[in-house]
Amino acid sequence: MSISVKNISKSFKTVNAVKDVSFEVKEGELFGLIGPDGAGKTTIFRILTTLLFADKGTATVAGFDVIEDYKEIRNNVGYMPGRFSLYQDLTVEENLTFFATIFGTTIEENYDLIKDIYVQIEPFKKRRAGQLSGGMKQKLALSCALIHKPKVLFLDEPTTGVDPVSRKEFWEMLKRLQQKGITILVSTPYMDEAALCDRIALIQDGKILQIDDPQEIVKHFPTTIYDIKADNIYKLLLALKEYKHSYSVYPFGEFVHYTDKRDAIDTKELTLFLKDKGLNNIIIQPTETTIEDTFMELAK
């Protein structure tokens, strides 16, 4: 096991940030911690990267205990905090050289590992990190986290605040890194990114709701979800909530995701009901369950 977390709890003054969390990450796995802001993702990261002591429970990273062997862990993991935390007043190249030196290595030594990522920012290597765009900052931070060839890579919300194209590129980079044998633990509030992980843990309020691979998690969803659309989404939401067979209703992109208490819905009846409520251009169609649907169901 590359990462093993057993019954970890951590509370800050009045908040129980993490409650009895356990999970394991296999070697070479891309594991996602999926949950909204404030779910406890960052706290778990900080415990695993030896920045924080857990109140209860044990954890090992790359075979090292997070408390007893913290020095070994610091040599073997790469950590990219959620907030950009490189030196903004140093250039791209200086930042990378600095972190290489701190880890007792050089850029040349591990260049093959970061090459894919670094070539994209190399044209700007004389530019100060503070003047890079969001996507480039991300690439630089990833390069810095990888420069010492870590066994385990921790990425805390790496794509928050990054544009969709850069996000997609970023995940492609992660896939390639995974092929090089690096275990990756990544957290994200974006449910669509969860499908890209090998396995995910859905987390809310410091508790893990479910751990499985994304396909399995979706399969567990108990019933069919319908995409419903009408000319007035807000009225539609209210109307559906009033509908007597309604089980769950929430907006999802341009549609409203609707589940029924019954196994199958009567489309005609529902259409009539909605028309009665003054809605027009009604579309009702079954849709594929996504991780977000599962999360909404579990978090209920």
The footprint of other proteins (CB under 8 A) covers: 49-53, 70-71, 74-75, 77, 79, 81, 83-90, 94, 98-99, 101-104, 144
142: nearest Cα among 128, 154, 160, 132: 154
Q: Are 170 and 138 in contact (CB under 8 A)?
A: yes
Beta strands in 127-217 (DSSP E): 152-156, 183-188, 199-204, 207-212
Residue 195 main-chain phi, psi, to 5 deg? -60, -20
Q: Which is nearer to other proteins, 99 or 243 (CB)?
A: 99
Minimum Å gap between C-beta 103 and other proteins is 6
β-strand partners of 153 = 78, 184
Minimum Å gap between C-beta 146 and other proteins is 13
Q: Which is nearer to other proteins, 33 or 145 (CB)?
A: 145
Q: Which is nearer to other proteins, 37 or 254 (CB)?
A: 37
Q: Cα-Cα-Cα-Cα dihedral of 183, 189, 193, 195, to 10°? A: 80
Q: Which is nearer to other proteins, 52 or 200 (CB)?
A: 52
End-to-end CA distance of the chain: 32
Minimum Å gap between C-beta 61 and other proteins is 11
Minimum Å gap between C-beta 74 and other proteins is 5
Minimum Å gap between C-beta 117 and other proteins is 17
- CB burial of 121-144 (b: ≥16 within 10 Å; e: otherwise) equals beebeeeebeebeebbbbbbbbbb
Q: Which is nearer to other proteins, 128 or 245 (CB)?
A: 128
